Amino acid sequence: MQMHIDKYERAWIVAVTIILAVFFASLVAGAVIYGVRPTQPDGFINPLMLDESEFANPGVRHMGGNQYEAIVMAQAWQFLTGEVEDGVPVIRVPAGAEVTFRMTTRDVIHGFMIEDTHVNMEVIPGHIGSARETFEEPGEYYFLCTQYCGRNHQGMWGKVVVEETVIET
């Protein structure tokens, strides 16, 4: 007995095969030609050893010139930034500062996104994530958790306060 395939069905089989082949080829081309790789963490850290790491003491450090480092710990359900103002975690830097955010999480996956910047990352247990941003304009930039992390996920936010001060070098 001969199997009957409707001509439309045949057309879709061909189309889907071609589409999948094109997708797969673009994946391979991206990896081989353009060297596209999944984002890599800056480093690894044992979540049980955080109290003996830089994350035990979150806060902003001046690294010289206009370079600043913000050590931030995410945990359910707050960001520890080393400074709290009116109950809100604050990362305070002078205008013109190039800030490297170094982050990890004590518990589940969180996100860290700062409005009006390119900073938008996943904060993954055991990983140290980093992102760099230069803040030229004085003002307040809200940041928030972008991964649903439980009951008070919406309470995970804070702000980068960029002050109109001269950077001491």
Min dist CB 107 to ligand CUA, Å, is 9
Residue 102 bridge partners (DSSP): 71, 130
What gap in Å lies between CA 28 and CA 58, rounded to an integer?
41
Q: Cα dist. 128→9, 76, 79, 86 in Å?
A: 50, 17, 15, 28
Contact yes or no for 101/79 (Cβ under 8 A): no
145 near ligand CUA (CB under 6 A):
yes
Binding track over 19-58 against ligand CUA, x by CB under 6 A = ----------------------------------------
Min dist CB 30 to ligand CUA, Å, is 30
Instruction: Look at residues 81, 77, 104, 100 and name the one whose alpha carbon lies nearest to residue 91.
Output: 81
Which tokens sit at 70?
A: 């913000």
Which tokens sit at 133?
A: 């941003």
Which of 80, 119, 127, 147 lies at the binding interface for ligand CUA (CB under 6 A)? 147
Min dist CB 105 to ligand CUA, Å, is 8
Measured in whole angstroms, how far is the alpha carbon of residue 7 from the centre of its chain? Answer: 48
81 near ligand CUA (CB under 6 A):
no
Which of 25, 148, 163, 164 lies at the binding interface for ligand CUA (CB under 6 A)? 148
Contact window for ligand CUA (CB under 6 A) among 5-13, 55-63, 65-73, 140-148: 140-148
Min dist CB 126 to ligand CUA, Å, is 16
Which of 80, 156, 160, 162 lies at the binding interface for ligand CUA (CB under 6 A)? 156
121 near ligand CUA (CB under 6 A):
no
The burial class, CB within 10 Å (0-12 / 13-18 / 19+), for 14 is exposed
Give residue for tokens 């071609």. 18
Min dist CB 160 to ligand CUA, Å, is 17
**CB-wise, 144 or 162, nearer to ligand CUA?**
144
